[in-house]
Structure 1
Amino acid sequence: MPIPEDVTGEEIDKDVRQELLSLPKTLAEDVAKNLVMVARLIDEDPEGAYAYSKIALRLASRVAAVREAGGFAAYANQKYAEALAEFRAARRMTGSVELWPVMADCERGLGRPEKALDMAGAPEVQKLDKAGQVEMRLVAAGARRDMGQLDAAIVTLQSPELASSSVQPWTARLRYAYADALLAAGREGEAREWFAKAVEADKDGSTDASDRLAELDGVEFVDAFDEGDEGDAGDATEAEVEAKAEVEDDKD
């Protein structure tokens, strides 16, 4: 796949660049460029990111960062078995527990919430940093919901991090998950309160908490470009009507 001219490979994280030093220089540059494309596309074009990740894997499957990127690209495309295999490979290479929460979420994706809960109670969780532990809590709550245990999911999310008034990178997602679980349990008033708190923490719009809050408040958004049925002359703009009239005049 073509690499845009503005991609040099230097954009990657310095730790990843360090890993690539084990490769011949030209090969390392090619791998780096493909990893840059994975990172660039993974949110907006997961399929494109996946394609670039497969190239990187073909070139350097013995590099942990490449296996990790391949895992995240597969995960973004809901290829959970493949993602889990790549994450496991990366973990074997590095010995790090950093990927433990996303590995557990892959188990959820594979329809094995019980396995995800087992992982949430494993010793590895204690080795995670605060962000990783919060992520593990979110996965565990999701697993409880998968199993129809709504009350248990709500209790799982109740934590010092949820109660804290300080805003951290995980705060919006944690509050959102709690609000969503409350709403699913029919506790609409509390859900509204926590969606509002999620909005306060969500400065970069990583969740749709504001939309959910508006929905609870009965606010409806109308898409100006999607009013009425397509092709209905009665819904055409004034300019479109005039243009059509001019065409008809020309025919006459």
Structure 2
Amino acid sequence: MPIPEDVTGEEIDKDVRQELQSLPKTLAEDVAKNLVMVARLIDEDPERAYGYSKIALRLASRVAAVREAAGFAAYAVQKYAEALAEFRAARRMTGNVELWPVMADCERGLGRPERALAMAGEPEVQKLDKAGQVEMRLVAAGARRDMGQLDAAIVTLQSPELASNSVQPWTARLRYAYADALLAAGREDEAREWFAKAIESDKDGTTDASDRLAELDGVEFVDAFDDTAAAEGPEDSDGAK
């Protein structure tokens, strides 16, 4: 797969660059460039990101950062078994627990929510930082919902982090998940309140809380362009009426 000329490989995190120092210089540069492409494309074009991750994996499968990147790329295209295998490999290499929540979410993706819940109760969770623990809570709540346990999902999300007025990187997603669980349980008024709180904390637009709240309030969005076109009537093939 082609690498754009503006990609040098120097864009990667310094810790990853240090890991790649175990490789011959030219090989390390090639791997770095492919990892840059994974990071660049994983949100907007996950299929291409997955393709670059496979190249990096073929070149340097013994590098933990490569296995982790391959895991996230596979996760992005919903290849959960493959993602889980890569995350497990990365964890064996590093001993880090930071991948524990996404590993549990892979179990959910594979239709095994009970395994995700079991992981939520393992000692590894206590070793996670605050962001990781919140992520694990979100995964556990999702697993409860997968199993039809709506009330348990709501209780799982009730936490000091949810109640806090402090806005953290995870706040919008946590509030959104809580609102969505409340709505699924038929608690519409509470759901409306928490969707509004999610909007307050979602400065980057990472959720569609505003759309969900508008939907609850009965607001319909109309495409003005389509309305204009309809009012003017159909056009013939050369654009003239």
**TM-score, normalised on structure 1?**
0.89
Separation of aligned partners in 2, 1:120 and 1:110? 16
State which of 226, 237, 240 in structure 2 corresponds to 1:251.
237
The unaligned stretches of length 5 or more in structure 2 are none
Cα drift, residue 223 of structure 1? 2.4
Q: The residue matched to 2:56 in structure 1 has which SS? A: helix
Identity %: 92
Cα drift, residue 224 of structure 1? 3.4
Cα drift, residue 97 of structure 1? 0.2
Cα drift, residue 245 of structure 1? 17
Cα drift, residue 222 of structure 1? 1.5
Aligned to 1:175: 175
Alignment CA distance shift 1:14-1:249 (3 Å): closer
Instruction: Calculate the aligned-residue CA RMSD, in Å.
Output: 3.0
Q: Deviations over 1:42-71 (max 9, x none)?
A: 001000000000000000000000000000
Q: Deviations over 1:198-226 (max 9, x none)?
A: 0000000011011111111111112235x
Separation of aligned partners in 1, 2:32 and 2:5? 14
Cα drift, residue 123 of structure 1? 0.2
Separation of aligned partners in 1, 2:131 and 2:214? 29
Structure showing greater Rg: 1
Alignment CA distance shift 1:182-1:22 (3 Å): same
Aligned to 2:104: 104
Aligned to 1:119: 119
Separation of aligned partners in 1, 2:158 and 2:149? 15
Q: The residue matched to 1:249 in structure 2 has which SS? A: coil
Do structure 1's residue 195 and structure 2's residue 181 form an aligned pair? no
Q: Deviations over 1:82-131 (max 9, x none)?
A: 00000000000000000000000000000000000000000000000000
List structure 1 runs of 4+ shifted beyond 6 angstroms. Answer: 242-252
Do structure 1's residue 46 and structure 2's residue 46 form an aligned pair? yes
Alignment CA distance shift 1:187-1:5 (3 Å): same
Alignment CA distance shift 1:246-1:178 (3 Å): closer
Q: The residue matched to 2:111 in structure 1 has which SS? A: coil
Separation of aligned partners in 2, 1:130 and 1:70? 25
**TM-score, normalised on structure 2?**
0.93
Q: Deviations over 1:150-189 (max 9, x none)?
A: 0000000000000000000000000000000000000000
Alignment CA distance shift 1:32-1:250 (3 Å): closer
The unaligned stretches of length 5 or more in structure 1 are 226-241
Aligned residue-pair number: 236
Alignment CA distance shift 1:223-1:67 (3 Å): same
Separation of aligned partners in 1, 2:236 and 2:155? 71
Separation of aligned partners in 2, 1:195 and 1:67? 36
Q: The residue matched to 2:236 in structure 1 has which SS? A: helix
Cα drift, residue 191 of structure 1? 0.2
Cα drift, residue 249 of structure 1? 14
Q: The residue matched to 1:21 in structure 2 has which SS? A: helix
